[in-house]
Amino acid sequence: MAGLLDAPHPYPGRLVIVEGIDGSGKSTQIRLLEKWLNSAGYRVFFTEWNSSALVKDTIKHGKKKDLLTPATFSLLHATDFADRLAHVIVPPLKAGMIVLADRYAYTAFARDVVRGVDPAWVRDLYGFAVRPDLGLYFKVPIEVSLKRILTGRQQLKYHEAGMDLGLSKDPRESFRLFQGRILEEYDRIAGEFGLTVLDATASIARQQAKVRDLVSGLLTKYRPTPYLRRKENVYVQ
């Protein structure tokens, strides 16, 4: 079933998204990009995965009590995504802004499938998602991501390590197995959806230089003309 991800979106703004397993450094890179674009005078809006007030508390409660099945996980995250798409992603795109998203629908395509959800089903579920203008996949080996995470804190999070799947009683080994499978899915997704693969083992500065180069290319013909034009303090089509 073809979805909106198969065709460019019609809005004057630009949508840039980042993907990668936990510990890939993607969040650091997109925040640096946000600062750089703001300093250059662009109008930028940032959004991140699982941040909609509509279902955030429900997901948090479900995780804490270990109540969520793979399908429920998928449906709740799709609800979160749909709410954010309608209220915090598309409106800025219509207004000609640059929207930066830390994780996008591809996160569900990777995580949900690893948790046992049918790949075709989850792709149909997100058939309403608009296609990014630039998708960046920060690829990193499992051991590197694990070391980075444990450098910042002593323990792995329960679902981050995939402990709910019963892969291993050892959190670190479970993380290796769970995130390793997600990494394999991301490799397939990158080819399927044309994500740009970046070496996430490079220095932060080198990665950011590459990110800025790619975004600069994207913005060559970018004209931030608002989708809604202002006339006498009223926005009209």
- Please state the domain extents for the chain: 12-218
Residue with tokens 């019963």: 166
- Answer whether residue 230 shows pLDDT above 50: no
Q: The domain at 12-218 falls in which architecture?
A: 3-Layer(aba) Sandwich (3.40)
Among 68-72, 108-112, 151-155, where is mean pLDDT lowest?
68-72
pTM for the model: 0.88
- Answer whether residue 168 shows pLDDT above 60: yes
8 A C-beta contact, residue 37 and residue 215? yes
User: Which of 69, 121, 107 has the alpha carbon at shortest distance from 185?
Assistant: 107
pLDDT in tens, 171-205: 999 999 999 999 999 999 999 999 999 999 999 99
The pLDDT value recorded for residue 65 is 64
Angle at 22 between CA 21 and CA 26, to 5 degrees: 75
